[in-house]
Amino acid sequence: MTSDTTAPGTAPGHQPELKRAIGSKLLFFFVIGDILGTGIYALIGNVASRIGGALWVPFVGAFVVAFLTAFSYLELVGKYPRAAGAALYTNRAFRLPFLTFLVAFAVMCSGITSASSASLAFGSAYLRQFWSAAPIVLAAIGFILVIALINFRGVSESVKTNVVLTTIELSGLLIIIGIGIYAIGTGAGEPGRLTEINPPADTGVLLAATAATSLAFFAMVGFEDSVNMVEETKDPARIFPRSLLCGMAGASLIYVLVAITCSLLVSAGDLTAAKSGALLRVVEVGAPGFNLDIFAAIGLLAVVNSALINMLMASRLLYGMANERILPRAFGAVHPLRRTPWVSILVTSAIAVALISIAGADGVARLGGTTSLLLLVVFTVVNIACLVLRRETVGHQHFRAPTWAPVLGAVLCAYLALPVLSGRPADDYYIAIGLVAVGMVLWFVNRLFVGNVEFDPRKLTKEGAAGPADRE
């Protein structure tokens, strides 16, 4: 039995620890801000196409799966209070460098697919409110290139900035909820739609519900990023559980209310036809006098924020893996003037452009589904790691999840990730397998020239991987 006696907040080695500036309120908003974004702004129409009017059902299901997994993250981050996340827990539980690499690479790929999905939502829905003839794929590619330039320029983000962006994103969703409340008060809407489950002709009710839930899960991802803030949180053992769970519950409540409003005011068929612009359609029907340009601008900010955060994370993870010599060192090159990981930025941006080109104008759901698939696999591993690491003891008190939570979390995550059972399209698997295959090739090529390398997964977070590259 191994032991980790490092006290919470103590930095490994002789480095000074990070400043603990995040309290419960800031952490609460950070969690909500990381969850809110492209998923809810872009995928309502696609979720409706899989289940019908009962839109709230898959969002509740996605919340349950995410909530169970959050218990595992809370136990692990309390036990090992390091900013490292899934890669650290996998490495600690299984001691298999290749598996740790696959988890880290899958997380990186999920950032790229998420940003690519956001880019297509940018071009296919919200930009077209201002430029109706905008070429969707070209606009999405142009959007990624602009994000790459911003990334190359160097972006220093703070949690307080995240609060401002969260407020903007939240305002758009509160507008939708307000429209729903007004509709109920005036007797508008069709409450009967809330219980309608109309699966496609070749799909049963259960398969339709799981397919919709696996896609809606994309809207819940982001909560796991909060573990990277543990070393900057005041009294994390006390604050983390309450802030994370309350933040997730708050985001889920918003999602469910938005989903109910959409079903009340617009039929599933019309939501499906609107695709990524479904929320614009809801505003148009529920509040005809409201200026759609205002809501479109909010939607643009929401997807811009999601894409930028995810591309920052992906490029820094690739840089970190190269810096740790588990991928070719060329990916770790730092620009001498901007001091940003320019090769990793180019590579991740090129992958995003390729994904957008392959997915096409209607690829928002396809790339969103791939994102949720990759993270569901990662969360399955994290839930199992939580159970495996029960055999380790540490020298400080920490949150302990009830045993049934990681067990049920692992089962549900695996269920939603498996083909046949989940009802997700085959394209999700093709894209995910293709991305992981690229990573495996790079891994083996690197081993051929460098040999077997032990690496520290704590350096593979979006904060830790940035290292000196962004210190100006």
Helices (H), 1-96: 24-35, 38-42, 44-51, 56-79, 86-94
Is residue 41 classed as helix, strand or coil in its secondary structure? helix
Nearest 5°: phi and psi at 3? -135, 140
Number of other CB atoms surrounding residue 345 within 10 Å: 26
Asked whether the beta carbons of 460 and 317 are under 8 A apart, the reply is yes
Q: Which two tokens stand for residue 183?
A: 């509709």
Please state at what angle helix 364-388 crosses helix 426-450, rounded to 10 degrees.
60
CB under 8 Å to 257, separation ≥6 — which residues? 177, 180
Q: What's the distance, CA 221 to chain centroid? A: 4
Look at residue 195 and tell me if it is in a domain: yes
**Phi/psi at 394 (5° precision):** -125, 165
Collapsing DSSP to helix, strand or coil, 6 comes out as coil
Burial 160-174 (b: 16+ CB within 10 A, else e): eebbebbeebbebbe
Mean pLDDT calculated for residue range 449-453:
69
Give Rg (Cα) of the chain.
21
**Average pLDDT for 87-110:** 89
Q: Which amino acid is at 320?
A: G
The region of weakest confidence among 33-37, 338-342, 457-461 is 457-461
- Decide: residue 325, CB within 10 A, 0-12 exposed, 13-18 middle, 19+ buried: middle
Q: Which comes out higher in pLDDT, residue 312 or 235? A: 312
- Say what percent of the chain tops pLDDT 90: 41
- Distances from the Cα of 113 to the Cα of 89, 120, 228, 272, 298, angstroms: 23, 11, 21, 22, 22
Nearest to 222 by CA among 62, 458, 460, 429: 62
Question: Residue 123 falls within a domain, yes or no?
Answer: yes
Residue 8 lies in a domain: no
Q: Is the residue at 375 inside a domain?
A: yes
Closest to 309 measured CA to CA, from 159, 449, 103: 159
Lookup: tokens for 112: 């790229």
Task: For residue range 64-77, list pLDDT tens digits in order.
Answer: 999 999 999 999 98
Residue 137 has pLDDT above 80, yes or no: yes
* 293-332 pLDDT, tens digit each: 999 999 888 888 788 888 888 888 888 888 777 788 888 8
Model-wide pTM > 0.75: yes
SS3 assignment, position 388: helix
**Residue ranges making up the domain that contains 240:** 29-470
Interatomic CA distance for residues 39 and 193, integer angstroms:
22
HSE-CB at 331 with a 13 A cutoff on CA atoms is 25
Tell me if 100 is assigned to some domain: yes
Q: Which residue has the higher pLDDT, 114 or 236?
A: 114
Phi, psi of 416 (to 5 degrees): -75, -15
State pLDDT tens for residues 326-381.
Answer: 788 888 888 887 778 889 999 999 999 999 999 988 889 999 999 999 999 999 99
Strand, helix or coil at 80? coil
Question: Which residues, listed in sequence order, are joined to residue 393 by a DSSP beta bridge?
Answer: 3
Mean pLDDT of all residues in 8-15: 46
How would residue 157 be classed by pLDDT, with cut points 50, 70 and 90? very low
CA neighbor of 226 nearest in space, from 393, 14, 70: 70
Query: Three-state SS for 394?
Result: strand
Please give the distance of CA 367 from its chain centroid, rounded to a whole number: 12
Residue 14 has pLDDT above 50, yes or no: no
Say if CB 90 and CB 278 are below 8 A apart: no
- The CATH number of the domain where 168 resides is what? 1.20.1740.10
Which residues are CB-contacts of 238 (< 8 A; sequence separation ≥ 6)? none
pLDDT (mean) for 270-297? 92
In angstroms, the CA 245 to CA 249 distance is 6
DSSP at 126: I
**How many domains would you assign to the chain?**
1
Helix (H) or strand (E) holding 4: strand 3-4
Give the C-alpha separation, 207 to 203, whole Å. Answer: 6
281 neighbors 196 (Cβ within 8 angstroms): no
Evaluate whether residue 14 is within a structural domain.
no
Domain contains 13: no
Burial class (CB in 10 A: 0-12, 13-18, 19+), 153: exposed
- DSSP bridge partners of 233: 22
457 closest CA partner among 110, 83, 18, 94: 83
Cα(214)–Cα(83) distance, rounded to whole angstroms? 27
Please indicate, yes or no, if residue 383 is contained in any of the structural domains. Answer: yes
Long-range pairs, 201-208, Cβ under 8 A, ≥24: 203/50, 203/423, 207/423, 208/50, 208/51, 208/52, 208/423
Residue 393 phi, psi (nearest 5) = -115, 150
